[in-house]
Amino acid sequence: MLSDTIAAISTPLGEGGIGIVRISGKEALKVMKKIFHSKNPKDWNHVKSQTMHLGYVVDFEGNIIDEVLVSIMREPKTFTGEDIVEINCHGGLIPLKKTLELTLQAGARMADRGEFTKRAFLNGRIDLSQAEGIIDIIRAKTDAGLKAALGQMEGSLSRKIKEIQNSILGVLAIIEAGIDFPEDEVEEISTSKVQETIKEVYEETEKMIKSAERGKIIREGINTVIVGRTNVGKSSLLNALLGEKRAIVTNVPGTTRDTIEEFINVGGFPLKIVDTAGIRETEDVVEKIGVEKSRELLENADLVLLVLDITAGISQDEMDLINSEKAKNIIVLINKIDVKESQAEKQRFEKVVEGIPHLFISAQEEIGIGELEKMIEQLITDRGVESTGDFFITNIRHKNCLVRTKEHLNEVINGIKLGVSLDIVSIDVRSAWESLGEITGETVGEELLDRIFSDFCIGK
């Protein structure tokens, strides 16, 4: 597969200022020469790397397809570590697709998902965690998420993992010395040193695992669900938070029959916010499906925004939700204070939501929306998740590898306490090293690699 020359469109399809067809492999220049006519004759064998050339993409009948700029990048100092040619076309669907078709006719193969990045990994340009950092950059929802992804792409996680692996290799060296020189005094010193180092590595691993809660939120966002009865103002709240009219707002109950998902940025944290169908008993088949989906989303939410209507009182279902286990992740929003805001009504609602984060708002008039955003940010930071540039784990795969590492290290600690011989203990020490190697790709199998890179888009 690595011997093939591959090609793909590396920019989103559609109208735009520019579109790029990327070619990588030992035949990249040969493929390009078959379909590109430079405005100035070139000796392509001696053209310098990292240069651009103006000319035309021409089909095999001599018809001009597009005027383009061709970028030449010679191995090994390229993204994939191979020769790369990028054909910069005008950003339209037809010139891009025709140019790609011509590269395939000229001898290139269509790239698989993530194959350019996979080649960068296989050719030693980046490790696996850095490759995953690239997809995180593309998917970043906030500045904090982008900063974390950039750090990972630049090797911050790789360096940390390598540091821990080196400590583990030091332990293995001590064990080997203890096995080769089994005198009682040497073995006692070896055991003591192994125990000390493994404890340090265990604590460092545990610290990294704990950082995954913050990393998950920065990377994936906080699953936030807007719930409430029909016509309490859920869609108006979504529109107010987004600053645009995304959801349809009417006085007709049951307007929102399916969920509406959007991302918003609150204090540097991405909120995946979902406006759900109003929870009520209904005979409408479509609305009933929406209500069931709302209940399911409610169960899996990180944060619940329960909207109440100050003009309609509190229902038993709303009381049940306020008093349920979900109350620890809930903010109660008493809406429509622009319609009715008597002191008696406020006091009645205050009594019901006492001890639970709550606000009196008008989603329609955007009263209290700023205070709501501050409250959400405070709830997040109270959970120990701060929007900082500190090191943290953002990938669930990496967390799972660290959890396995911790388990092996725990076996080592317990084994030493029970007096198990160092040569037996070394099995778990080596397993810990291998689990860490899965993060950077040192000890990962082909099947897992295929699964990871299949998450990438074609052209990346």
Domains and CATH numbers, the chain: 6-126 (3.30.1360.120), 130-211+393-441 (1.20.120.430), 219-382 (3.40.50.300)
Give the Å distances, CA to CA, from 447 to 272, 355, 363: 31, 51, 50
**Cβ pair 39, 57 in contact under 8 A:** no
Mean pLDDT of 114-125: 93
Q: Is residue 356 within 8 Å of residue 327, measured between CB atoms?
A: yes
For residue 144, give the H/E element and its range.
helix 143-153
pLDDT value at 360 more than 60:
yes
Give tens-digit pLDDT for 29-72.
Answer: 999 999 999 998 888 888 999 999 999 999 999 999 999 999 99
Q: For 372-397, write each residue's pLDDT tens digit.
A: 988 888 877 766 555 444 567 888 89
Coil vs helix vs strand at 270 = strand
With a cut of 80, say whether residue 283 has pLDDT above it: no
Determine the pLDDT at residue 182: 58
For residues 219 and 270, what is the distance between their CA atoms, to the nearest angstrom?
8
What is the predicted pLDDT for the residue at 119? 94
Q: What digits encode the pLDDT tens for the residues 303-333?
A: 888 898 888 878 787 787 777 766 668 888 9
Q: What is the mean pLDDT of residues 106-118?
A: 94
Contact predicate 263/275, CB 8 Å:
no
Q: State residue 159's pLDDT score.
A: 93
Phi, psi of 243 (to 5 degrees): 75, 25
Rg (CA), the chain: 29
pTM: 0.75
Q: Which of the residue ranges 94-98, 150-154, 257-261, 452-456 would you say has the lowest mean pLDDT?
A: 257-261
Burial readout 391-430 (b: 16 or more C-beta within 10 A, e: otherwise): bbbbbebbbebbebbbebbbbbbebbeeeeebeebbebbb
* 401 contacts: CB under 8 Å, gap ≥ 6: 435, 436, 438, 439
Residue 404 has pLDDT above 90, yes or no: yes
Average pLDDT, integer, range 256-281: 69
Task: List phi, psi (to 5°) of 314.
Answer: -120, 130
Question: Rounded to the nearest 10 degrees, how much is the dihedral formed by the CA atoms of 344, 347, 348, 352?
Answer: 170
- Asked if residue 202 lies in contact with residue 171, where contact means CB atoms within 8 angstroms, the answer is no
Q: Report d(CA 412, CA 309) in Å as an integer.
A: 58
Whole-angstrom distance, CA of residue 344 vs CA of residue 332 = 18
Higher-pLDDT residue of 317 and 7 is 7
Q: What pLDDT is attached to residue 252?
A: 38
Q: Is 253 a residue whose pLDDT tops 60?
A: no
Q: Which of 37-41, 223-227, 285-289, 449-453 is the least confident region?
A: 285-289
Cβ proximity of 256 and 278 under 8 Å: yes
> How much is the pLDDT for 312?
82
Confidence (pLDDT) at 290: 44
Higher model confidence: residue 101 or residue 12? 101
Is residue 141 scored above 80 in pLDDT? Answer: no
- Total Cβ atoms within 10 A of residue 138: 11
Can you tell me whether residue 18 is helix, strand or coil?
Answer: strand
pLDDT tier, 460 (very low <50, low <70, confident <90, very high otherwise):
confident
Per-residue model confidence (pLDDT) at position 189:
61
Least confident of 338-347, 428-437, 447-456: 338-347
Write down the mean pLDDT value for the chain.
Answer: 83
Q: Residue range 16-28: average pLDDT?
A: 94
Average of per-residue pLDDT across 131-137: 90
**pLDDT score recorded for residue 348:** 81
Residue 257 pLDDT? 41
Q: Could you tell me the pLDDT band of residue 420, with boundaries at 50, 70 and 90?
A: confident
Q: What is the pLDDT of residue 385?
A: 53
Mean pLDDT of 246-250: 44
In this prediction, residue 73 carries a pLDDT of 96
Nearest to 394 by CA among 134, 131, 217, 155: 217
Q: Is the pLDDT of residue 11 over 70?
A: yes
Q: What is the pLDDT of residue 277?
A: 61
- Mean pLDDT value across residues 340-365: 82
Q: What is the mean pLDDT of residues 410-422?
A: 90
pLDDT at 161 over 60: yes
